[in-house]
A and B are shown apart, each in its own frame.
Chain A
Amino acid sequence: MTYDHILVRYGELALKGKNRKTFMQILKRNVEKKLSDFPNIKVKAKRDHMYILLNGEDHEPILKTCEDIFGIQSFSLAMKIENDEDQIKAGALEALKLENGRTFKVTCKRPNKDFPISSQDMNQILGGHLLTNTEGWTVDVHNPDVELRVEIRHDATYITAKKIPGKGGLPVGTTGKTLLMLSGGIDSPVAGYLTMNRGVEIEAIHFHSPPFTSERAKQKVEDLGRVLTNYGGDVKLHVIPFTEIQQKIFQEAPENYGMTIMRRLMMRISERVAKERDILSITTGESLGQVASQTMESMHAINEVTNYPVIRPLVAMDKLDIIKVSKEIGAYDISILPYEDCCTIFVPKQPKTRPTREKVNEFENPIDFSKDIEKAIENMETVTLSANESQVEDEFEDLL
């Protein structure tokens, strides 16, 4: 008897009444996609648990992957055993022998009331069996090194030892789609990640201003987008050519309002792209008070141009906490690469930290951006970033 499957416990999705079935199906699809490198596994979604049958695949990398999937509350390596007292005893012994530690506790659950022995009695029986047949182990019901869980269900009994916490949240794809404004800094990938945590699928939009921003800066954004694919599926990245618009702002608007006007144009373009793609919201990495463009006044002035929901997951987060998440998700080292993005060029010497709607409209109205916006959207390029293989490597495959 060895561990032959992984028992996956649903998180919040177990609470979601009528939608539950869709949620389960989406989680199953996400899990299958993430584990597509392991052709032999089989995923079975049941009402209250999901099983990943290993069918001989190595469990270590699969466990590691499960840690990155939203919608999983916790998971455990498990063995499936017939509902038979002797077999359960043997399985429990096998499971304990694979663990390191000195104290244990058996926790039996019996949703299947047809099984003749109560869970209390079963705890006693198994505890005794384990103590007699092992050396060096003692029982500690309060603070055990190993908690052996035995669940006697209708179809079979499942034995698990270690409970590994999952990411929680909701399966990506269950709560719609958002358009993430991805800059290349530290904040926006974190904003994307946190939105995904609530089951939201991501498409990303990036404003590219060659020659003021380099190919490397674009590459960096692609790499950041690819980081996000680790936690959901593929990410579509829309790259908007933004040079001409930026030049026009620079030439025709007062310097200290340039930043606000630029942000408003980005927001307008984003809303247009979202609308065309049936995406119902826009997500940004804005956090209050970080830089000049992220004051309450600034947000008020920028938000005027859209009535789409603008999701700002970082708005109340401290920078240090944002950095912590950035490091956890593997984005930080990419984010800090020193390439210019379109927000760091044309920075006015004294940007308006308290812009007003009246003023910005006064400066912006005389300039006609409508054709520029059309043109930028027309020339938008879209790349699909994929989790499993990096395009970079494909390109060089024959060389390496």
Chain B
Amino acid sequence: MIYLDHSATTKPAPEVLKTFQKVSMDYFANPSSIHSAGSESEKLFKSARKQVSELLKVLPEEIVFTSGGTESNNLAIKGIAYAHENRGKHIITTRIEHPAVLQVCEQLEREGYEVTYLPVDQNGFISIEDLRSAIREDTILVTIMHVNNEIGSIQPIEDIANLLRHYPKIAFHTDHVQGFGKLPLPYEMEGLDIVTISGHKIHGLKGTGCLIKKRHISLQPLFQGGSQEQSIRPGTENLAGVVSFAKAMRLALNHQREYQRIKTLQQKLYEQLSNHSAIEINSPKHGAAHIFNFSVLGFKPEVLIHALAEKDIFISTRSACSSKENEPSHVVLACGKETAAESALRVSMSMDQAEEDIDLFIKELFKTIQQYENIMG
């Protein structure tokens, strides 16, 4: 099987799964229980938090463990919006965010908030000038993703943080789900306030993830219950999940050096696919190495996906969270490529993707196009 849908999800690393199993069995006691079994669980929980804080170079109390990207994004955006509704109701985001950001913003619009959706250029990049001029007196939050999940464009998070540090009343959140383990951010940086990280995109398990939340930021919790995670995210700690997530993070950061190698695979895709007359490339040249988006003009993307799946090659249309809607990609559309948006396809690689996988994919893709060209065209 050639799996090229790593931006949708990844296969758990065996070590991660082993940790999950062992912790589930040996440390099942509730970390909040006062007996010694609970105390052992709590010790392990603290060690996991400490490891994560050291990996990210932030304080242990700046980490809130969650169930993953969607929850983290919801918690960050609604958490800021509801906590500061008396100060202002204006939010700035972009047109190419993941549905877990866009739909939260749309929900807030229905509740009386105003949202500015920044445009992107044809390569999928926002401009700092646009952001600067969108800032208003009543702006409380800027949420801009790091690496786009469909085309891999990388937003200038450091520049944005440098701009926003002069606006201490505006919180800056970034959805870092596709960037973590590939393109590190200076998490400790002033101006970068809230960061979403997900476990299952980095060979961790579904249902794991975290939010980095700087000390000066206060969030309104999404639900009420116990006092876990400083009451920001109540509920019995998912200890096995958290420990396995800490391990997945460590492994992901160890694999980060493979990024340059993946870049060469992407270049190969770029060169070979752009030579094909029916293919248009949607990913920017200077985007993230592991995501490659293209359109085979005139082809319904689903047809190609199914045809390749028969050969045990798995790619996807766009975001798994929006791919079931039969609509063009909102990201590719935002880049001003209307035709391409109808037929966008995504190849997303893991940090240990073999070069042969890519060679075989290209070969089979070309063969498939040739085979169905007449019918589709």
B1-43 residues at the A interface, CB under 8 angstroms: 19, 22-23, 34, 36, 39, 42-43
Provide the residues of chain A in CB contact with B47, threshold 8 Å. 392-393, 396, 400
A400-B243 in contact (CB<8A): yes
Partner of A400, one of B34, B36, B42, B250: B250
Q: Give Cα distance in the complex from A392 to B40, angstroms.
A: 10
Taken residue by residue from 50 to 79, chain B's Cβ proximity to chain A (1 for < 8 Å, 0 otherwise) reads as 110000000000000000000000000000
1/0 per residue, CB under 8 A from B, across A384-397: the answer is: 00000000110110
Asked if A316 is an interface residue, CB under 8 A from chain B, the answer is no
Tell me whether B43 and A400 are in contact (CB under 8 A): no
> Which residues, 342 to 400 on A, are CB-close (under 8 Å) to B?
392-393, 395-396, 399-400
Closest A residue to B38 using CB positions: A216
- Residues 223-264 (chain B) with a chain A CB within 8 angstroms: 243, 246-247, 250
Chain A residue nearest to B19 (CB atoms) is A399
Residue of A nearest to B46 (CB): A392
Say which residue of A214, A395, A396, A399 sits within 8 Å of B36 (CB atoms): A214
Contacts of A247 in B (CB 8 A): none
The verdict on A396 contacting B39 (CB below 8 Å), with A214-B34, A216-B34 known, is no
A215 at the interface (CB under 8 A from B): yes
Q: Which residues of B have CB within 8 Å of A400?
A: 19, 47-48, 51, 243, 246-247, 250
Within 8 Å CB of A395, what residues of B? 43
Report how far A400 CA is from B247 CA in the complex, Å.
5
Residue from B22, B39, B243 within 8 A of A216 (CB atoms): B39
B362 at the interface (CB under 8 A from A): no
Q: Is B281 an interface residue (CB 8 A)?
A: no
Contact A214 to B39, CB < 8 A, known contacts A392-B47, A396-B44: yes
Taking CB as reference atom, which chain A residue is nearest B44? A396
Q: Chain B contacts of A215 at CB under 8 A? A: 36, 39
User: Interface extent on B, as a size class?
Assistant: 10 to 19
Is A219 an interface residue when CB atoms closer than 8 A count as contact? yes
Roughly how many angstroms separate A284 CA and B34 CA in the complex, as a whole number?
29
Return the CB mask of A118-132 against B: 1 if under 8 Å, else 0: 000000000000000
Most buried by B among A215, A392, A395, A396: A396
Please indicate the chain B residues that have their CB under 8 angstroms from the CB of A392 in the complex: 43, 46-47
CB proximity of A280 to chain B, nearest CB, Å: 36
A165-B47 Cα distance, complex, nearest whole Å: 33
Interface residues of B in 163-180 (CB under 8 A from A): none
A217 vs B50: C-alpha distance in the bound complex, in angstroms? 20
Q: What residues on A are CB-neighbors of B51 within 8 Å? A: 393, 400
The answer to whether B243 touches A399 (Cβ under 8 A) is yes
Q: For residue A339, which residue of chain B has the nearest CB?
A: B34
Q: Which chain B residue shows the least CB distance to A393?
A: B47
A399 touches B34 (CB 8 A): no
Residues from chain A with Cβ under 8 Å of B44 in the complex: 396, 399
Q: Chain A contacts of B39 at CB under 8 A? A: 214-216, 219
Q: Which A-chain residue is minimally distant from B52 (CB atoms)?
A: A400
Name the distance in Å between B22's Cβ and chain A's nearest Cβ: 6
- Of A215, A216, A393, A399, most buried by chain B (CB within 10 Å of CB) is A399
CB neighbours of A219 from chain B (8 A)? 39, 43
Question: What is the bound-complex CA distance between A370 and B59, given in angstroms?
Answer: 49
Shortest distance in angstroms between B308's beta carbon and chain A's nearest beta carbon?
38
Q: Which 5 A-B pairs have the closest CB atoms?
A: A215-B36, A396-B47, A216-B39, A215-B39, A399-B19
Question: Can you name 28 A-B pairs with beta carbons within 8 Å?
Answer: A214-B34, A214-B36, A214-B39, A215-B36, A215-B39, A216-B34, A216-B39, A216-B42, A219-B39, A219-B43, A392-B43, A392-B47, A393-B47, A393-B50, A393-B51, A396-B44, A396-B243, A399-B19, A399-B22, A399-B23, A399-B44, A399-B243, A400-B47, A400-B48, A400-B243, A400-B246, A400-B247, A400-B250
15 more contacts with CB within 8 A, not counting A396-B243, A399-B19, A399-B22, are A214-B34, A214-B36, A216-B39, A216-B42, A393-B47, A393-B50, A396-B44, A396-B47, A399-B243, A400-B19, A400-B48, A400-B243, A400-B246, A400-B247, A400-B250
